[in-house]
Amino acid sequence: MPNFLSRHSSAIHYEDQGEGPPIVFLHGWSLSGAVWRSQVERFSSRYRCITMDLRGHGLSGAPDSGYGMEELASDVAGLFAHLELSRVAVVGWSLGAVVALAAYSLLRERLAGLALVSGTPKFTAAGEYSCALTSKEPRVLGLRLKRDLDGACRGFFQGMFTADEVSCAGYEQIETEYFRGADRLPFHAAVQTLDALASADLRGSLASIGVPVLLAHGSGDAICPAEASRFMSERIPGAMLKILDGAGHAPMLTRPRELNGILDTFFERVYAGNR
């Protein structure tokens, strides 16, 4: 079971499959690197696909503290150093997209591109920035976590999907595989990571991003509205925006073929001439 020790002495779990140009996948809050299974299956025949479990999630260690965005970004940099990675495409989903933005300044010399799926530079609305949930909603989720950790996580998971997605034939399998089969997030890690997500503001870093960027977002996303990716597309030089019509917050689970096609085109662009 591959792990490395972060600079904060926390064991970080990762999986490493395939050969070729490297792709690092970062998951969202309360889940693990397992959410990228369809993408790893699709791309590991041509690329080196690396998934990691953020601290406190999946099979990674869950220290008592240290869940700020700085620590999460540092763990990603630690993975790069541990595996001696360069010319990397990073794919971040939800919280993973925020972590990818936070880690950009640490990794810019080793990056080939960024793909942000259902991403946002700021999880909560503030002032003129309305492309997000109200600040009240993370606080309410935090209270629910205190009362019923499993129930709150289940409610959040179900909120990732549109009504059409929940009613489709494949939803029960998705829930069984990715929620019921997940290692439960410890309470302290759940709350502290949620706090870090709710307080992060990466808007000021967008204009400085100097690698190819893909922004993929479901039009029906109720957790990170698609307007967040539209906001980023106007501020990241040369960013490519793809809206998946009718998709919710987790298109890698509900629309894997469509998302994989978009990612495939992006990876070909990023690694053109480096095969």
pLDDT per position as a tens digit, 200-239: 999 999 999 999 999 999 999 999 999 999 999 999 999 9
Is residue 189 predicted with pLDDT exceeding 90?
Answer: yes
The domain made up of 3-270 is a member of CATH 1.10.357.10: no
235-263: per-residue pLDDT in tens?
A: 999 999 999 999 999 999 999 999 999 99
* Burial of 240 per CB tally in 10 Å (0-12, 13-18, 19+): middle
Cα→Cα distances 130→5, 93, 135, Å: 38, 20, 11
Of the candidate ranges 40-49, 72-81, 87-96, 174-183, the one whose mean pLDDT is the lowest: 174-183
Q: Give this prediction's pTM.
A: 0.97
In this predicted structure, the answer to whether residue 275 has a pLDDT above a threshold of 90 is no
Predicted confidence at residue 179, as pLDDT, reads 86
E runs forming strands in the chain: 3-5, 11-17, 22-26, 48-52, 88-93, 111-117, 213-218, 240-244
